[in-house]
Amino acid sequence: MTKSEQLFARAKKRIPGGVNSPVRAFGSIGGTPRFIARADGSHMTDVDGNTYLDYICSWGPMILGHNSELVREQVRRACERGLSYGCATEIEVEMAELICESIPFVEMIRMVNSGTEAVMSAIRAARGFTGRDKIIKFAGCYHGHTDSVLVSAGSGVMTSGSPDSAGVTKGCVQDTMTAVYNDLESVESLLAQAGDQVAAVIVEPVAANMGVVPPKEGFLAGLRRLCDAYGALLIFDEVITGFRLSFGGAAEYFGVTPDLVTYGKIIGAGMPVGAYGGRREIMEMVAPSGPVYQAGTLSGNPVAMAAGLAQLSYLKEHPEFYQALEEKGKDLYGSMQALLEKANLPWQVNYIASLGSLFFAKEAVQDYTSAKASDTERFAGYFHFMLQEGIHLAPSQFEAMFLSGAHTREDLDVTLAALEKYLAGEGQRSV
């Protein structure tokens, strides 16, 4: 028995499912999760000494690569001064100034501890500002595990085959309306039904929790237009895309301005951080400036702020980083699609910039329904094959691949060679 297997057996006795976040359990693909001992650059090493080329990147925030010396040094210095004070610090002001001065529509920002908390707080602020109760979300878009948005969610909920969650009452979701991603007519229909009651439309501008599903041309701009017409706020959930597609996230990348935006752990360089921000008049509704209550002892934690400020400062000072990362994405994901075509296999590669997914689906994946048509059994076989080849992918058909600045040309070649080997074997099977 490997050490990972031993640890998993121990964990299942004390931790639900043996993990502290469901998708880690390998539930949809079978087998034993690898327990990681350390990570550097583009690679992770497990407790058994196996090293893997990593395409999870801690679910996105390790955009500079694992264990960045730049970030690590600032964390070390911050730790020497103390881990947490429960009081205001200069560094959280510097973080807020960096983001607000760099992203025009973020006039004010509030630090929290996770993307889930950021979304929960942004929705509360939207309701407080508009005086309305209902929100519109999209099937397959995941906005954390807050009760009101755990309806037709993606990510780990989608993987388990449960669109909702036990413990979420009907009362919690009665004001949540669900539209179809990439379908403006579905949104307009809901707004026509309840437009004067809708506080906000919340969307992943690039869906990345049902696999990667980019927005169709005009979809995000159409949401902006509809929100303006019906007096609803537009919230971009940029927990995945923020500071990854560009420094200004998807809002900058697509040229569409939301009213509120949520960010996740990338602003902490992988440490537990989130944030929500936007127009001043909305954010001034948040306590203690206004009546919308939200608080957190660890919000703006000085160690997390030091890590995040180091990473964001580097990204701000090196705009060429994003161009290079996007070219890397085109190279990897475009080559993956070319290999599928060469092997005459009908599966799909969806990608945008450094985010990508290989769907075992015969038709184009553009929404929740088409994503769910994927062959998850084939994905499980693919995952384990690639793992044996030393490549660690997200253990779910419905998660994204993430590239970092640490991934090299050699890393991409190794990945493509492994995929070609896999496809050669699949070519012998009926599809």
Residue ranges and CATH numbers for the domains of the chain are 3-67+319-426 (3.90.1150.10), 69-317 (3.40.640.10)
Contact by Cβ (8 Å): 147, 172: yes
Q: Which residue has the tokens 């960010």?
A: 263
Residues 281, 213: Cα–Cα separation, whole Å: 32
265 is catalytic: yes
Give yes or no: 237 in active site: yes
Q: pLDDT per residue over 163-195, tens digit each? A: 456 767 677 778 899 999 999 999 999 999 997
pLDDT > 50? residue 202: yes
pLDDT digits (tens, 9 = 90+) for 234-272: 999 999 999 999 999 999 999 999 999 999 999 999 999
Distance of alpha carbon 163 from alpha carbon 5, whole angstroms: 30
Q: What is the mean pLDDT of residues 365-373?
A: 96
Q: What is the pLDDT of residue 146?
A: 77
pLDDT per residue as tens digits for the range 70-107: 999 999 999 999 999 999 999 999 999 999 999 999 99
Query: Is the pLDDT assigned to residue 153 strictly greater than 60?
Result: no
Q: Is the pLDDT of residue 365 over 80?
A: yes
Characterise 216 by phi-psi region: left (phi > 0), alpha (psi -120 to 50), beta (else).
beta
State percent of the chain over pLDDT 90.
Answer: 89
Supply 242's token pair. 């923020």
pLDDT, tens digit, for every residue of 203-226? 999 999 999 999 999 999 999 999
Digit-coded pLDDT (tens) for 118-135: 999 999 999 999 999 999
* pLDDT at residue 310 is higher than 80: yes
Among the options 46, 52, 263, 265, which is catalytic? Answer: 265
Work out the number of other CB atoms within 10 angstroms of the CB of residue 389: 16
Q: Which of 237, 259, 367, 411 is catalytic?
A: 237
* Mean pLDDT on 390-413: 97
* Candidates 52, 142, 276, 368; catalytic one: 142
At position 158, the amino acid (one-letter code) is M
